[in-house]
Structure formats: structure tokens, C-alpha cells
Amino acid sequence: MNIKQFLDSTYLKTAQQAAVSEIENVKINKYSIQEAIDCDFKLIMIRPEIVAMAKKMISEAKSKVDIGTVIDFPLGQNQLDYKLSEAQKAIDDGADDLDFVVNYEAYKVCEVDLIKEQVIKCTDLGLRNNKNVKWIIEVAALNDSQIIGLCTLIKNCVISNFKESQYDNVFVKSSTGFYKTQNNLPNGATIPAIKIMLENSFPLPVKAAGGVRNYDEAIEMIQLGVKRIGTSSAKAIVEGFDSKNGY
């Protein structure tokens, strides 16, 4: 198994979150992009403002590494126009994958029509531009019933509005990795949550993001059926080490 082709190597911290200067954070991003190129990972996942730099580095290296970015990150609470505008800029800058944060708080108070409109229109923008689209549902913010309901809603929106040949390009993704949980509970992908997602998102693929930090955990996720793994520990995973990275 070529596990590298399942790995979305991820660095999404702002300078403030990383407790470094803006200049130092750009260096960290460059290092992360170069590592993805050198290791031949499936994709490098970075913030929207880094996409153009990643595109230049990857093109100059003649690498096949894809570029992913996050949209309306990490809360997903902006209006549709904001999501579409940020996504279009990322497309123009060279992104291959658009990972939208769904407005999960709106879903929790039953604003279903708002979610449907955003899923349909944002997915349409991505697919029309031949991009992969992923919907981050933030499992740590949801109970099992809400995970089932939100996965089902996204799945039904896609089935009702897009071609079957496009289903493989629309993922349901577990987590941002930035949700603040209480009592040190996991804020990323867990086995129980991923099983629920797989069962209720099919035929859409699932991406497990957050908390996968070593080879055995990655293999377990792949054997469950996930098609992508988002992790800041991609190099440690392929080299067989445990990582202490938080995502």
C-alpha cells in the first residue's frame, strides 16, 4: 500500500497560533510544502494566503503534489458570499482541493435550508472548476445523532444536485483540528465518529482529519474505509514514528 497517497500533509496555524513572527510562519509553511514535495505526499493542506506560494514551489519542482486549502476556517459561520469569494480566490491561486467548514452551529439549531444552499452552491463552484470539495462537519462539536444528520444532509444534497460520476470528488471530513473541547476530549477523528461518518456519508468518500499521528492509526483509518487522512504528522507516519503534533 502506498500510504503517502492517502496523506494530506497539513499546516494551518497562523503566526499567532504558532507563537512565532509572520516571517517565521512563512518559513514554516515553506518547509511544510517542501517536505510534501520531497516525500511525495498526496497533498499539502495550507491556509488560503499560502496557496499561491505553494503553487509556485510545486510547479518549479515539477512535483505532482496537490494543493488543498480551507475555506471559512475554522468556524464556518460566514455568509455564502464569503465562502464563494474565498473559494474562488483559492481556485485562481491554484488550489486543487477546497475544504469548506460547514456551519455546524447553524445545523444544530435546525437552519437546514441555510446549510443546503451553502453545500449546493459551494460544491457546484468547486466541481465546475474541476476541484475536489470537502465538507468539514466538526465531529467534536456534534453528538452522534447530529453527525448522522449532517452527513446525511450533505450526502442528499450531492445526490440530488450532481452527477454520480462526481460523487468521488465530494468528501465529508471529520474535523478542523481547532475546535476547543472540554476535559481534554479528542477534537479530531475518532474511530466511533469515523464509523458513523462512513455509514451515513456513502457513497461520498470520507476524510479523517485530526488525531492520526502514527502508521498504525493511519492504517486503521484506511482499513475502515477513509480515502484521505489530514495530519500534521505525515512524515512521522510514513517513517513509522509516533508524533506529538497536535493535529
Tally of CB atoms within 10 A around 200: 19
Alpha helices in 94-241 (DSSP H): 104-108, 112-128, 144-161, 191-201, 215-224, 234-239
Point out the residues that are catalytic: 99, 173, 207
- CA 59 to chain CA centroid, nearest Å: 22
Amino acid 118 reads Q
Q: Cell match 517513517: residue?
A: 239
Pull the grid cell for residue 43: 497533498
d(CA 12, CA 178): 9
Q: What is the dihedral of CA 78, 204, 128, 46, to 10 degrees?
A: 50
